[in-house]
Chains A and B, each alone.
Chain A
């Protein structure tokens, strides 16, 4: 049972990545893969600041700003320098690797001796359950903020930017600026994932960001498949389902591992799982 709880906790920590990818890919229609870099950025800053004795309440705002900055950079390269979004993301992600390594000073920083946000307050006696409460709380705050944002006038304009650029420009929206803001929000969320994960596992490792983009993509794709099945249009339900996708993804991976599959095979299992979900709708359409 313990490994299932761990999977759920990890899924909750990855919720930020999932929401970030949802915003960049689904709302803005931009394939942004700055993700690996901005997730690691969040992790690197968290671990470094903890070990340098920074007051814990300063850390999250700094992580969010750093992630947003990474997004702004990708967005700026994409919209102002007219570089393909994928390439812009790769450039920033690649550059961030050096920044992250320099920030940490070495490739692995343990946090064993520090009080994390999961252990700061004790509501429940069991450490894991206590962690779960705080992880859920963190995700609930994210969903509330993003859900509210998407319902505001600004949020409607965001959604229209990825949907019909001609229309929204003729309605007075600077779409370049909008995309930059969108990528900033997406990468701030992703960095927050790094922040949570570092504290959950009590260390940051320079390689922990490799391939996390697929966790977000997977969550969004699982979510999308379900959204189509159940014909969901509500913003709140959509966000919840995306988070559910992130958790489900971790559960499936955990189950796979528990079946005794070689951990080296984990990434290929991940890819196959995402492929399966991308493929399901196509296959069912064909047979229908």
Chain B
């Protein structure tokens, strides 16, 4: 589903601040695979995710999604494959728009936004139905501005919004970093459930090694823009939580 070949990224090329964020990454993620990415700060995880999403273009290498070369497509042109949840809970939603408006846009992710009024009773009902799945009592608040919700609620909604339209790839960059343990748990469970229910190909970046251990079928560790550990399904199953801790010592 996701194919990265020989991806390198250099920021500020030729300046004193030059950084090689990624050094020749080859990565193939299968359909329905839940991949967890760990690695210390600055190891290139977010850069990798941004390159898959198209918000950063690689210095070298190619990106293919669903067998199609998308290296030259901008992020908004790749959105028909990809849904994203950002590290900052505020990035995934528009605060001044109502919950309903946010969901309307999410439902149109793969469609043009046309000059007709798309929010009708049927759509409202659909959103309320989706919201009740979360069990946060948000289904009665669809007309509230998104900005009045907590970070955890917004992050959970961003996840839910990602499956409002046909979605194949889910990219999660530290989605729980800003959340309390309970909200973090809801968000991680929702992500896991959606991955299964919708057969999504999911890439999760996390610093929470317990989550890295609990969720996903495959785990990779990055250091200085390279993949230094890559454990597939059966190997990850055998992995102990302590083993992952050792990677960082």
| A residues neighboring B (CB under 8 Å) | 148-149, 151-154, 156-157, 159-160, 163-164, 166-175, 233
Contacts and interface: CB of A to CB of B under 8 A. Distances in A.
Contacts of B75: 169-170
A167 B91 contact: yes
Closest 3 CB pairs of A and B: A172-B79, A164-B94, A157-B113
Contact of A169 (B55, B95, B101): B55
Nearest to A178: B113
A151 to B, nearest CB: 5
B84 A170 contact: yes
Contacts of B104: 153, 156
Please report whether the interface of chain B is mostly helix, strand, loop or mixed according to DSSP.
loop
Given A154-B113, A156-B105, A172-B80, 14 more contacts: A149-B115, A153-B114, A153-B116, A154-B114, A156-B113, A159-B97, A163-B95, A167-B91, A169-B75, A169-B79, A170-B55, A171-B108, A172-B79, A172-B108
Interface in B195-211: none
Given A153-B113, A153-B116, A154-B114, A170 B105 contact: no
B213 interface: no
Given A170-B83, A172-B80, A152 B118 contact: yes
A171 B106 contact: yes
Given A152-B118, A153-B116, A156-B104, A163 B97 contact: yes
A152 B91 contact: no
Contacts of A159: 94, 96-97, 101
Nearest to A177: B76
A182 to B, nearest CB: 13
B105 A151 contact: no
Given A163-B97, A167-B94, A169-B75, A157 B105 contact: yes
B170 to A, nearest CB: 12
Contacts of B119: 151
A156 B93 contact: no
A270 B83 CA distance: 48
Contacts of A169: 55, 75-76, 79
Contacts of A233: 98, 143, 145
Contact of A170 (B82, B102, B116): B82
Interface residues of B, number: 39
Given A163-B95, A170-B84, A233-B145, A152 B117 contact: yes
A172 B74 CA distance: 10
Interface string B61-103: 0000000000000111101101110100011111111100110
A129 B76 CA distance: 51
B119 to A, nearest CB: 8
Contacts of B95: 163-164
Nearest to A161: B94
A166 to B, nearest CB: 4
Interface string B214-236: 00000000000000000000000
B109 interface: yes
B113 A164 contact: no
Contact of B92 (A151, A152, A167, A173): A167
28 contacts: A151-B119, A152-B117, A153-B104, A154-B114, A154-B115, A156-B101, A157-B113, A159-B101, A160-B94, A160-B105, A163-B95, A163-B96, A163-B97, A164-B93, A166-B91, A167-B91, A168-B105, A169-B76, A169-B79, A170-B53, A170-B75, A170-B82, A170-B84, A171-B105, A172-B80, A173-B76, A174-B74, A175-B76
